[in-house]
Structure 1
Amino acid sequence: MSDTPSDCSAGDCTEHHTVVTEADVEALVRGICFKTGPPRAVGVEVEWLVHELREPRLPVSPERLRAAYAALRTVALRSALTIEPGGQLELSSPPAASLMECVRTVSADLDAVRTVLRRDGLTLVGLGADPWHPPRRFLREPRYDAMEAALDRTGPAGRAMMCTSASVQVCLDAGHEDPGPLGVGRRWWLAHTLGAVLVAAFANSPLLGGEPTGWLSTRQLLWMEIGAGRAGAPELDAEPRGAWARHVLDSPVMCIRSEDTPWDVPERLTFREWTRSGRPTREDLDYHITTLFPPVRPRGHLELRMIDAQPGDDGWIVPLAVATALFDDPEAAETAYRAVKRLTERAMALPAPHNPLWLDAARRGLADPELHDVALTCFTAALEALPRLGATAEVLDTVTAYLDRYVRPGRCPADDLLEQLRDADGRAHGKDIHP
C-alpha cells in the first residue's frame, strides 16, 4: 500500500529530529510498526519489469525509459507510481476497504499505464527476475548509491535484487489483540510459515542470463544471499513486537545520510551500537527501517514480500486474492494455520527465509510433496472463502484456473519457462520465452 498513517516510516507527532535511545527505539517500533485492530484494509504493491514490446531481449535505453515515465507522470492514477533502481515500475494501491475495491483500483491503473507504455513500444512483464538482462542502475540517487555499496559487500546478489527483480507484495492489517485466527500473534506466525507456501506456489524466476539457475524462485535466492541482517526475519518463537524491535536494533545500519557529502556506508554498525556511540534521530530510525527487507515487514500493516511477479495481465490478482482470503476470512485462516503446522519443524530451524522450508520452496516449488499438500489445502480454503469476501465470479474463475493449471499438478509458472527453454524447436536459451 502507498504511505498511510499506519506506515512505520510515515511518522506521528514525535519530533523527527529528536535523538533516540535504545529504549526509545524499542517503544517506537512496538507502537508504530504494529497497528492492531480487526482486519479491515487490504492493499497490493505490484512491481513489473519494463521490456521492449516486440523484442523483449533487447535492452530498453535509459532515455526511452525516462520519456515513458515522464508521460506516465501526467496520467491520473489512484495508486502511487514509483520507479525501482533498475527501472522497474511499481504501483502501490491505496488502502482498500475490500478485496474487490483493491482489484478494481489497481486494474484500472494498470490499464492506463499499459496504454501509455504501448504507445512507446514498451510493455509490462511479470517475472520475478529478469531472465535476459544483467543488472543496470537506472536511478542515480544517494539512497541507491549507498545501498549498492552496502550490498556489494555480500556479493552480486544485491545488485541483481535492486535492478532485475519484481514482485507482488500483499499488504494486510496486522490483526487485533485477541488470540485466534485474526489475532496479531497468529497472523505474524502464519505469515512466516504460509509465506514459504506462497513462494512455492507462485515461483516465477528460474532463469538468469537466459540459463536455469537451479531454483524456481531465483528472486528468493537473491534475497537469501543478501544475508539475514538485511533481508532476514526475526526469531519466530517470540512475541512479534519485541522480536521485531530487537531485530531493528541489531540489524546493520546501511548508511548515514548527509545533505552535502556522499553518504557514509559503515561496516558492522548496528542501530543499537549507533544509539550508544552516536546521536541517531527519530528520522534516522524511520529511514533505517526502510532499509530492512525481511519477507514479512511490519509497517503498521503486514507487508508480504515473498511472492514473485506473476505472468499475464491479471496474474497478480491470484496471490492477492488467495493471501487475503487465508488471512482475513476466519474459517480459511484457521484451515491455513492447521495446514501449515505440518511445516513447523522445517520452518523453525532458522528465521525465514534461511530455514530449510523456505530454501526448499524456492528451489523446488510445489514439487516438494509436503508443500504441495499444504498448498492444495490452502488454495481450496481460499476459494471457499472468497465469495464471503465479496469476490466476483471473474476473480473466482481466475483463482480456479490457477489452482487447476498449477497447484493441483504440483507446478508453478517457473515450470512453464523451463519447458519453453527445453523445447527442441529452436527456443533454447530463452530466445523466445514470452511470459
Structure 2
Amino acid sequence: MSDTSEAGATGDCTDRTEPRTALTEAEVEALVRGICFKTGPPRSLGVEVEWLVHELRMPQLPVTPERLEAAYAALRTVPLRSALTVEPGGQLELSSPPATSLMECIGTVSADLDAVRAILAEDGLGLVGVGHDPWHEPRRFLRQPRYDAMETCLDRTGTAGRHMMCASASVQVCVDAGYEEPGPLGHGRRWWLAHQLGPVLVAAFANSPLVEGRPTGWLSTRQLLWMEIGAGRAGAPPLDGEPRAAWARHVLDAPVMCVRRDGVPWEVPEGLAFRDWTRSGAPRPPTREDLDYHLTTLFPPVRPRGHLELRMIDAQPGDDGWIVPLAVTAALFDDPEAAETAYRTVKPLAERAQPRPAPHNALWLDAARSGLTDPELREAAVACFAAALEALPRLGATPEVTEAVAAYRDRYVVRGRCPADDLLDPLRGTDLPPSRRRSTGGTLTTHGKDIRT
C-alpha cells in the first residue's frame, strides 16, 4: 500500500527498447482479474495523505518552484517509513507502508509528518489540508512525459483535469479486499460497500468549497472535478456483477491515456480503448508494462490494486485531521459488526445511485454539492459514526483517537455540517451576528460549463 500514488509509482516509467511480448484481449482480462483483488483475511491498512504546501506566514502567497524544489530536495534526505512523492502541482503526498493495525498506521504517518513539517518550517513553509487550493489557479510544478501526456489528454474535456492534477489533495484510505467467501468481510460485499459508503464519506468530509477565493456552489469541488473528467477515466463499473469481471471489462473499455516512447513526447491517442489497442496492435502492440501503466491512469472513486483504495475523501484541516476519516473508514470495513451496520445503513441510499455508476449518479452529485445538509446522507453519516465509535476500541484505538472521532461527530456530523462550512462561514457572514450577515456568490468554470451558487 505504500506505493499506490500515480505520481510516485510510475512517474519515470518509459517504454524501453528491448523486445516485449504483446498482450491479447484475453490475457489482459486474466491479468486484471488476477492482480486487482487479492483476497484473504483483512489484516492490513494503509493511508495516503496529500497536502498543499504554502507559506507559513501567509498561505495566500504562492510558493515559487525554486523554493519547492529546494524543500523537496531537503526532504529526500530525511529517513521516512512512508513513501514521499510529489504531485504535478507540487502537492506533497505521504503513503504509509501496510500496517497491521490502525494505531500502527497512525503512529507511522504521524511520526513522518512531524519530520516533514520540521524540515519545511526551516524554510518558512507548511502543510495545508484542504481538498482544493482555495487561493491559486492550477499551475504545474512537475515537467515529466507522464504529466505532459496527462495534461494533453485531460484538456480535451475542459479545465477539470488541470485542477485535479495541480490543485487538489485528498486522504485515501487503503483496506484489504476481504475474504473470497461471502459475508460481511467478503470481497464482493466490501467492493459494494465502498461504492455505496463513498457518498457518505464525501459528504461528511467535504472540504473544498472555494476556487480562487470564490465559492463554487459545491462543498466538495474536488469530487465535482473528478466527475467532470468523465466516466471513462474517473468512473466506476456497474455494481450488478462479479467485481473481478466488472473491473476487467472497465479496464479494457477505458481510454488509453498515452503510448509511451523513448526520447520523444509520448503519443496521446484520442478515443482508443485498451480493448481496441489489443485488437489493432496500433500504433504498436501493447505489452504487460503498458497494461500496468494503463491501470495507474484510471481514477475511479474506489480503485482495486490488490487492496481497495478509497479515493473520495477531501484532505482535512489541522495537523491530525486525516486521522478521523482513516479511523472511521477502518472501523466500518474491518470490524464485522460495524461493517454490517454500515451495509444496512447505506443500502437504502443505493436506490438514489441508480441507474448510473459511481461517481456520476445523483447520490454522488448530491453528496458533493450539499454535503450533510441532505437529510438522508446526514442520517446515514450519524449511524456510521456511531457504529465506528463502538468499533474503534475493539480495533485497539486509543482513547485519543476515539475522542477525536467523537469530537468530529459532534462538531460536524450531528449538526449537518462539514469542514467546507468553516471555510464558507466568513463569506456567508454566518460567523457574525444575524444583523451583520451577508450573502455571497461565485462561479467556477469546468468542462465548458458555469457552475453557480
| 1:106 alignment partner, one of 109, 117, 139 | 109
Q: Give the structure 1 partner of residue 365 of structure 2.
A: 359
Name which of 150, 166, 170 aligns with 2:169.
Answer: 166
Deviation string for 1:351-403 (max 9, x for gaps)?
A: 10000000000000000000000000000000000000000011011101000
- What is the CA distance between 1:136 and its match in structure 2? 0.3
1:46 pairs with one of 42, 46, 49: 49
> How do 1:32-431 residues align onto structure 2 when only pairs under 5 Å count?
32-278=35-281, 279-423=285-429
Instruction: Measure how far apart 1:260 and its partner are.
Output: 1.4
CA distance in 1, matches of 2:372, 2:21: 49
The alignment-based identity, stated in percent, is 79
- Asked if structure 1 preserves the Cα contact closer than 8 Å seen for 2:21 and 2:287, the reply is yes
- Helix, strand or coil for the counterpart of 2:132? coil
Q: Which runs of 4+ in 1 moved over 6 A?
A: 424-430
Cα offsets for 1:208-246 (capped at 9, x unmatched):
010000000000000000000000001111110000000
What per-residue deviation string (whole Å, max 9, x for no partner) do you get for residues 285-313 of structure 1? 00000000000000000000000000000
1:18 is displaced (CA, Å) by 2.3
Q: Which amino acid aligns with 2:395?
A: L
* Cα distance, 1:263–1:427 mapped onto 2, change above 3 Å: farther
What is the match of residue 444 of structure 2? none
> Matched residues in 1 for 2:92 and 2:20: separation?
32
| 1:170 CA drift (Å) | 0.1
| 1:2 alignment partner in structure 2 | 2
- Deviation for aligned residue 1:427: 12
Which residue identity is paired with 2:366? D
Q: C-alpha distance in 2, partners of 1:208/1:429? A: 14
| Cα deviation, residue 344, structure 1 | 1.1
- Residues 104-142 of structure 1: CA deviation (Å, up to 9, x unaligned): 000000000001111111110000000010000000000
Once residues 228 and 193 of structure 2 are traced to their aligned partners in structure 1, the CA distance between those partners, rounded to angstroms, is 24
* One-letter amino acid of the structure 1 residue matched with residue 177 of structure 2: A
Give 1:433's aligned residue. Answer: none
Alpha-carbon deviations, 1:76-95, whole Å to 9, x = none?
Answer: 10000000000000000000
Secondary structure in 2 matching 1:90: strand
Q: Conserved in 2, the CA contact under 8 Å of 1:254 and 1:288?
A: yes
Which amino acid counterpart does residue 45 of structure 1 have in structure 2?
A: E
Query: What SS class does the counterpart of residue 153 from structure 1 fall into?
Result: helix
Give me the CA root mean square deviation: 1.7
The Cα offsets for residues 162-194 of structure 1, whole Å up to 9 and x where unpaired, read as: 000000000000001111110000000000000
Distance 1:411 1:238 in 2: 35
Indicate the residue corresponding to 2:449 in structure 1. none
1:210–1:429 CA contact under 8 A, matched in 2: no
Unaligned runs of 5+ in 1: 431-435
CA distance in 2, matches of 1:290, 1:113: 26
Letter in 2 for 1:25: V
What amino acid is aligned across from residue 144 of structure 1 in structure 2?
A: Y
- AA partner of residue 234 (structure 1): P
CA distance in 1, matches of 2:329, 2:405: 11
| TM-score normalised by the chain length of structure 2 | 0.91
Residue by residue over 1:237-280, the C-alpha shift from the partner in whole angstroms, topping out at 9 and shown as x without a partner, is: 11100000000000000000001111000000000000001110
Aligned length: 422
CA contact (8 A) 2:131 2:314 kept: yes
Query: Contact conserved, 1:203 with 1:307, CA < 8 A, in 2?
Result: yes
Letter in 1 for 2:311: R
Cα distance in 2, alignment partners of residues 234 and 207 from structure 1? 30
Q: Partner amino acid for 1:3?
A: D
- Offset of residue 16 of structure 1: 9.9
- Does structure 1 conserve the Cα–Cα contact (< 8 Å) formed by 2:428 and 2:437? no
Given that 1:48 and 1:88 are in contact with CA atoms closer than 8 Å, whether structure 2 keeps it comes out as yes
- Distance in 2, matches of 1:361 and 1:422, equals 20
Using the alignment, how far apart are the partners of 1:391 and 1:378 within structure 2? 17
Deviation at 1:19, TM superposition (A): 1.4
The answer as to whether partners of 1:16 and 1:282 remain within 8 angstroms in 2 is no
Cα distance in 2 between the residues matched to 1:359 and 1:276: 36
Residues 1:347 and 1:426: Cα distance change in structure 2 (over 3 Å): closer
Counterpart-to-counterpart distance in 2, 1:91 and 1:277: 39
Deviation at 1:420, TM superposition (A): 2.1
CA shift in 2, pair 1:107/1:222, >3 Å: same
User: Out of 24, 27, 31, which is 1:24 matched to?
Assistant: 27
Separation in structure 2 between the aligned mates of residue 54 and residue 347 of structure 1, nearest angstrom: 44
Instruction: Return the letter of the residue paired with 2:145.
Output: P
1:127 partner letter: V
